[in-house]
Amino acid sequence: MAKILCVLYGDPVTGHPKEMIRDGIPQLSRYPDGQTLPTPSKIDFTPGQLLGSVSGELGLRKFLEEAGHEFVVTSDKDGADSVFDQELVDAEIVISQPFWPAYLTAERMAKAKKLKLAITAGIGSDHVDLQAAMKNGITVAEVTYCNSISVAEHVVMMILSLVRNYIPSYKWVIKGGWNIADCVQHSYDVEGMAVGTVAAGRIGSAVLRRLKPFDMKLHYTDRYRLSKEVEEELNLTYHANLESMVEVCDIVTINCPLHPETENLFNEALINKMKRGAYLVNTARGKICDRDAVARALESGQLAGYAGDVWFPQPAPKDHPWRTMPNHGMTPHISGSSLSAQARYAAGTREILECWFQNKPIRSEYLIVDGGKLAGTGAHSYSEGNATKGSEEAVRFKELTVV
């Protein structure tokens, strides 16, 4: 029997909800590209429940304990005295989320002699040192596509919120004001603007499809060019390099994975090549952007706005400059953790576990590392290397409690 260590974010401050706010969620069978949704043998939850917090337990406890496994769930993940570090030493399987990542560094892997499988309940496994996972023979898997559309919807929301100056306008209402001039002095239409995505995979392509009805000029750059049919259908302009795209775009949205080649990709030099007053949206990974360069660009006016829900580290300490920089629309990492998405990534996590315990192959689209090398989706999306360096800064979230 195995020990499974699961790291999830904390419950709502008012406690875990006793009932759902809606009676249910739409039932889907396939993703837009035809891939089937997760197919576990069964689930022990009602889709639409809060599953991603510690009390939700991804709906896994009944399944795992009836099979005789030990299941430990915690939100305490950072620092040598954390529950995660204490329980990791004899865990065979670790489950974590991108939204509240348990940074699985080489140092932690060295202490976890029994660790064989790391599952990301969601998409994006950069919180795992992939190089160390390959070296140590650890399989890494994630629930591909489970929340791609969720993130794409969030991107569109943030683009409209920035360009239309929604957040400051909303704040005037809260203050009791009617300050129309203050609100509209930074408000524009997206119609006719040029928007470009860094990567046009599942999320990037979905963003472009959702922005097409707004009559925007659509651009993209990617290591893999889309088909001629898709380019013509969406009237896309392809850029062979990132620099040529950012120079012509009013809005840039980042939708690529984090790995050593994309770490700090948006540094001061690249941001200065963007149009003055451009908008930058990042729901990919915080470390793709140079933290201080973004803050300086907002202060100088080089960027008119920055929005996203990804930070580094996560959770972000109270003194993280993105909390207080001007003209931002930041949220905690929530874009891929809607209740709709949670039902899919919880079911996908169970599907991976069922395959593992039954010695059946895990879907190739779920695999990131297998057999000591990048595999499946990992071979397509990632590069060898480690992007977890510096994750120990997350300890300061516990020290600088957010009020």
Residues annotated catalytic, as ranges: 147, 285, 314, 333
Using CA atoms, how far apart are residues 334 and 285, in angstroms rounded to an integer? 12
DSSP 8-class letter at 52: S
- What phi and psi values does residue 189 have, to the nearest 5 degrees? -90, 145
Q: Which residues contact 146 (CB under 8 A, 6 or more apart)?
A: 37, 38, 122, 123, 336, 341, 344, 345, 348
Positive or negative torsion for Cα 252, 255, 260, 261: negative
Contact 155, 207 (CB under 8 A): yes
Assigned token pair, 202 = 């599942």
User: Alpha-carbon Rg of the chain, whole angstroms?
Assistant: 21
Using CA atoms, how far apart are residues 270 and 272, in angstroms rounded to an integer? 5
Residue type at 80 in one-letter notation: A
Write out the H or E segment, with its range, that includes residue 357.
helix 339-357
Residue type at 123 in one-letter notation: I
Q: Which residues contact 340 (CB under 8 A, 6 or more apart)?
A: 25, 26, 47, 48, 150
Contact 230, 236 (CB under 8 A): yes
Which of 176, 100, 171, 18 has the alpha carbon at shortest distance from 345? Answer: 100
Q: What CA dihedral angle connects 127, 315, 310 and 84, to 10 degrees?
A: 20
Positive or negative torsion for Cα 28, 29, 30, 35: positive
